[in-house]
Amino acid sequence: MVGLSRLSLIATIAAVSAQFQKPLVSQSEDVLLEADKTSNKPLVDTEALQAHITAESLLKHAEALYNIAKSSEEEFGHPTRVIGSEGHRRSLEYVASEIDRLGDYYKYSTQAFPAVMGQVFQSRLVLGHSVPKSATPMSLTPPTTGKEPVYGDLVLVDNEGCDASDYPDEVSGKVAFIKRGTCSFGAKSELAGGAGAIAAVVFNSNADGLSGTLGVPSPNHVATFGLSGKDAQPIIEQLKAGKVVDSIAFIDSVVNTINTTNIIIQTVEGDPENCVMLGAHSDSVGEGPGINDDGSGSLTLLEVATHLTKFSVKNCVRFAWWAGEEEGLLGSDYYVATLPEEENQKIRLFMDYDMMGSPNFAYQIYNATNAVNPTGSEQLRDLYVDWYKSKGLNYTFIPFDGRSDYDAFIRNGIPGGGIATGAEGIKTKEEELMFGGKAGDWYDPCYHQLCDDVGNVNTTAWVINTQLVAHSVATYAASFEGFPTREITRAAGVHEQDTLYHGRYLVR
């Protein structure tokens, strides 16, 4: 929608109606007049835009965001900005109010959508005479019947449990024991439920533990645990030897649908047929305030959007603050899924900015290649490489594996990429030499924890990466010369086949 005032935008966010707001496609006469005003400004220049980025401004925003997270204390007992919380609602209001300060440089849009979220309160799995420590309830699992323990023998499912024929008749009224592989955890749980199982256990194909998500709820989903291959192996041997292994499964959980909102802004000026798009997520996990994850990315976008108003652009620039990323990329999924084909084609590339200032950082670039992703992804990757090199900074490639909001864009044919500074991964000795910090520790020791507050952000990394974000915006807002034209292909098949994650959760 065009020309939303601060009050009407905030009112829309507060109401969170379930009506989809169409993408920004039309320009009114007033908007075209505003474009004439902005065209008198100098064309965006990367060095000039980068020069406006300061630690002081970023930290001021971070302090405000942390105070906003504290508004959830009464409900959650600690600061958080998880979707559905007061902290998240006020986070959206903060972004909206800051955008309103920028005048008519941007068109505003809100996009409300239904978001599925779940919570597990208690769980326990007993297999034979043991209580395996690796047993982990799947995200979005339903509870056991009546939220009470259920009892049944284990039944080893054939193959990898991806076909109804893999589930023998005797699984009815018992607990399905299923090997990980090929199909999604949700499909396995649904098939087990359809066969009459009272619960399901999905065990890993290697010795490691296994946690993931069932994804979109199904009436046939049953209470489902993940289990390490190490804990599963003796059970498998007993079952294959014809022995009976009884089990007790208990999960007390809820799966709810709430309404939440994406915020999208687009420059009034610039070719609307060739749009630069970038995004970050506005929500945190329930466990903490999420100042690095992904307050840092959200505020980076806000800072770049603020200073871009000093310049004119040749190509339109679209910023998005996604809701529900931590619940499984819900906001970005919804946006791309509801995008008409002609609007899809207008997005020349999407850039994802998630966790810009991890305290034990590495400068990470998603290793997006044209061989397995939409053409143009590799050119974006190389832009980041060239910039780090020009500043004499080291960098490292990380998998482009579906763990953030770029996923829906890649799956639907839109070139993508991004940068990050690390989450729960372990910094190597080589990276300690490249970036400093401490080898053997997580890149972000407060990842998804209460301590992800203002003190958890490395300002040096945050400023440098915000300058790089400014560079990426300035480069493509000025020209797409040398960048591949969009292809008609809707999906990246190889990417989809190889991707095991959707957001922070394993899906298969």
The model's pLDDT over 5-62, given as tens digits with 9 standing for 90+, comes to: 344 444 444 444 333 344 443 334 444 444 555 569 999 999 999 999 999 999 999 9
Query: Taking the model in full, what pTM does it have?
Result: 0.86
Strand pairing of 271-281 and 224-227?
Answer: unpaired
User: What is the pLDDT at residue 506?
Assistant: 57
Residue 145 CA to residue 33 CA, distance in Å, equals 62
Q: Answer yes or no: is pLDDT of 108 > 50.
A: yes
Residue in 124, 130, 502 with CA at minimum distance from that of residue 332: 502
Residue in 107, 82, 129 with CA at minimum distance from that of residue 24: 107
Residue 107 CA to residue 275 CA, distance in Å, equals 14
Buried b (16+ CB within 10 A) or exposed e, 116-142: bbbebeebebbbeeeebebbbbbbbbb
Residue 157 CA to residue 161 CA, distance in Å, equals 6
Q: Which two tokens stand for residue 358?
A: 């991890």
User: What is the pLDDT at residue 403?
Assistant: 79
Q: What mean pLDDT do residues 423-440 have?
A: 97
User: Of the listed 34, 287, 325, 326, which one is catalytic?
Assistant: 325
Burial of 146 (0-12, 13-18, 19+ CB in 10 A): exposed
Residue 464 CA to residue 384 CA, distance in Å, equals 12
Q: Which two tokens stand for residue 414?
A: 């839109």
Strand pairing of 246-267 and 150-156?
Answer: antiparallel
Spell out the residues 6+ positions from residue 104 whose beta carbon is closer than 8 angstroms to its own.
Answer: 3, 31, 34, 268
Q: Is 190 marked active-site?
A: no
What letter represents residue 190's amino acid? E
pLDDT tens for 375-394 read 999 999 999 999 999 999 99
User: What is the pLDDT at residue 4?
Assistant: 37
Residue in 243, 281, 229 with CA at minimum distance from that of residue 91: 281
Q: What mean pLDDT do residues 289-295 have?
A: 97
Q: Answer yes or no: is pLDDT of 490 > 60.
A: no
Residue in 342, 318, 343, 323 with CA at minimum distance from that of residue 333: 323
Q: What mean pLDDT do residues 291-296 have?
A: 97
Q: Judge whether 376 and 350 are in contact, CB under 8 Å.
A: no
Q: In whole numbers, what is the pLDDT of the chain averaged over residues?
A: 91
Q: Answer yes or no: is pLDDT of 414 > 50.
A: yes
Q: Answer yes or no: is pLDDT of 233 > 80.
A: yes
pLDDT tens for 128-174 read 999 999 999 999 999 999 999 999 999 999 999 999 999 999 999 99
